[in-house]
Chain A
């Protein structure tokens, strides 16, 4: 492993930053009221909560709504603690203060074994590692919506902020009426007393701002009236009448449109351009050359009076497109290279080792070996990539459907040559994110074009073909799986060596590092750091926990819940030229396919029922066993099906939530037909079971699209899939019935937005094996099934 790769891995960056912040005191996330000093006349009580004169509760919302329901669920936490109707919570823009940064997403980057992280029983390594990562997160201040972390991250800070505001409002009423706080009641934004005293929040807030909150405690579970209910989403009406405003819907006076045309080859660039024909078309203003921004391929943008005018001219450009200087990308060659890495027994970082798996495998009489493959995938958000920017009077205003507004601001400032404070970022609704909008390439492009439009705002839009051919793709991966079964058909030893590109270091390089002097310095040194002697012991202590390669590459393989005495789970981080990024469920999205298909193979090899085989290895993991059992029960596992149908099951933990899925399939045509998917989920404390069900359904459909059809191929440098006809999405007519069964839990909330994605592909492949006797070990399945 090269030193540089170690340092740049998501967790490894902690090592770089420990140097700079040893003396910083920890800061709370309540935030000062000044953060929300607004012109609208409300009074802020902390960095999250402002009370409007009419009594509405204004909540600073740093997380992006991209379909996952987070604007509703986070507002519910505040409405609960302040005892107001959900409809009384109004979202306002959060700024860029560190209180809004996402800590949980970073602590989630620590590779841990499930049994080492039981609440209250975490190992020292886990506790310390999480503490260091939390410190790192606070220091980096990455406001990101991703990693299924929004509720987990803000569960405590938001409830605390609202409870603190409530304490101040109650204190103000108490002082005014000279009545004890304990005798006051709060309902619907009104504080009252049995004597008939009544005041609205809006009337009390001026005084509340000067009143200490007293002894702040969040409500006990037994007092909840909103959390845990399927409250309707607050955005449903606007998303049913066309009024919801996405990035692409921003309309400003004098606005012009820019259409992007990248070099066809990934990493290529435009050479000489003949724009005579394009410029002769009506409604066309100019052509702008776009460099590579935050990892993008260099491009041209054409500015015109409408998208259509600009697109027509972009198509008319005659360009001497240059290939990628280091050679054309070819996914066939890349897959061969990844496979060689997966098969190279001397390579790889062991994310988990226990017992002696190699020795057990060498000595076993019953070894099962298989190789699994998954392709590159595109995000294909329904809303095409876009960003609107106005540069005028030294100020930059950005309207962006982004998952990382702080990163968008940092890049906009660099491209425009202004200080970050001169940049305002408005986050619109996102027409899908799935990780694509954790990248900011399109923001840099839009700012660049806006520098040329004389102060007029410009909306930059990518045609769908640009989106599919110039994405940051879900990395392809290959895993060599080897297992030894003992004489009783039990899984005695498991060795997995997977290989593929690691997305986190690439993202840190192109998105996070440029805004952080500490990381930039580490990069400039080629990754070697001067660690002050006083900090060396601390760094050494964290090394085992933190200086590991990208956890996302191996997640879902190294942290299996099953009791397997001998394990060696290793990953080889390859480095190929296809740009890679985060895709819904990240590494879990393919690793669950590898692991849970192989476990199914072993069950059949052991002539055991796939559910019983798994349950026998889950004696020490009661939550996993309960989820698996619930899905099996609700699906009627073991009961007979009509002829020509079969079931398959898979179990997977990701983002601190456990999901099991049973897929019912038939195969009457060239492609498998999925009839029913039964899901059981334990995602800890549930804020809104309606949104949980929505997200489970969403992940199932998203994963079914990938499992059946999803693949990105690069031929001679160019991505072959260009639009939906070549990159099909599951259609309504092919969508199965989907059932969601929530296993109740009182644990800290886990993730929801991604967690139903991983088990779908293996459950489907396992069902197809039960149906046909053919084991499908390569995604996508549809073409393989019919081949």
Chain B
């Protein structure tokens, strides 16, 4: 099957039932996207498919055929991190860091669709789970990245 991953065309011989998460991690060695629960409950596996956030652990490969997948590895460019990634460092968001790829991809989809999200918008969009309790900093970092992007527009 063919799809686009991080702007590159990819052809893989994968079982159509294989979830995108494992296609990315175990077939393409893109390990930035994380396995947390396998049941779409924690969001650690969040990636973008055609710009929309999806939980890749329950998204079969067949559903992404011909589509554009973006993972944390291509959220920013080498040497030019995304505004959210800069805000993540500025606000010192990560602790163990394991859930942060999914957190960032969910946040990126949010501010791409809603450039100035309110607290309520953030509450609704960021349902990813974090065991280290980085939530207050996630919220603050989303707001400052959104403000920075808005100012730069």
A residues near B (Cβ < 8 Å) are: 66-69, 232-233, 235-246, 248-249, 251, 257, 282-283, 305-308, 311, 380-384, 429-434, 461, 463-464, 690, 694-695, 697-702, 723-725, 729-733, 735, 737-738
Contacts and interface: CB of A to CB of B under 8 A. Distances in A.
Contacts of A311: 38
Interface string B113-153: 00000000011101111111111111100000000000000
Contacts of A232: 89, 92
29 contacts: A236-B93, A239-B94, A241-B75, A241-B85, A242-B71, A242-B75, A243-B32, A246-B97, A305-B26, A306-B22, A307-B26, A311-B38, A380-B131, A382-B42, A382-B96, A382-B99, A382-B130, A384-B36, A432-B96, A433-B96, A463-B38, A464-B37, A464-B38, A694-B137, A697-B137, A698-B133, A724-B39, A729-B129, A731-B135
B59 to A, nearest CB: 12
B74 to A, nearest CB: 9
Given A67-B132, A735-B133, A737-B136, A690 B92 contact: yes
B97 A241 contact: no
The 5 A-B pairs at the shortest CB distance, nearest first, are namely A242-B32, A701-B133, A239-B97, A431-B98, A67-B96
- Most chain-B Cβ atoms within 10 A of its Cβ — which of A245, A429, A735? A735
Contacts of A723: 37-39, 41
A725 B41 contact: yes
B104 interface: yes
A381 B131 contact: yes
Contact of B35 (A233, A248, A724): A248
A522 to B, nearest CB: 36
Contacts of A381: 96, 98, 131
B94 A236 contact: yes
Contacts of A382: 34, 36, 42, 44, 96, 98-99, 129-132
B41 A383 contact: no
Contacts of A429: 96-97
Given A308-B26, A701-B135, 12 more contacts: A67-B95, A67-B132, A233-B92, A233-B94, A240-B89, A242-B73, A282-B15, A306-B27, A381-B98, A382-B36, A432-B131, A729-B130
B135 A724 contact: no
Interface residues of B, number: 58
B128 A240 contact: no
B112 interface: no
B122 A732 contact: yes
A240 B87 CA distance: 10
B85 to A, nearest CB: 5
Contact of A697 (B39, B97, B122, B133): B133
Given A306-B26, A724-B37, A737-B136, A694 B104 contact: no
A419 to B, nearest CB: 32
A417 B104 CA distance: 44
Contact of B96 (A237, A243, A383, A690): A383
Nearest to A430: B96
Given A251-B29, A382-B130, A432 B92 contact: no
Interface in B40-55: 41-42, 44
Nearest to A312: B17
A283 B23 CA distance: 13
B81 interface: yes
Given A382-B96, A384-B36, A432-B98, A697 B136 contact: yes
B22 to A, nearest CB: 4
B108 to A, nearest CB: 12
A698 B132 contact: yes
Nearest to B31: A249
Given A306-B26, A382-B36, A244 B97 contact: yes
Contacts of B104: 240
Nearest to A726: B41
**Highest count of chain A CB atoms <10 Å: which of B94, B98, B100:** B98
B39 A725 contact: yes
A282 B22 CA distance: 15
B76 interface: yes
Contacts of B29: 251
Contacts of A305: 26
Contacts of A434: 131
A98 B94 CA distance: 32
Given A257-B26, A735-B135, A240 B42 contact: no
Contacts of A430: 96
Contacts of B44: 382
A245 B134 CA distance: 19
B67 interface: no
Contacts of B123: 732-733
B35 to A, nearest CB: 6
A243 B104 CA distance: 13
Contacts of B63: none
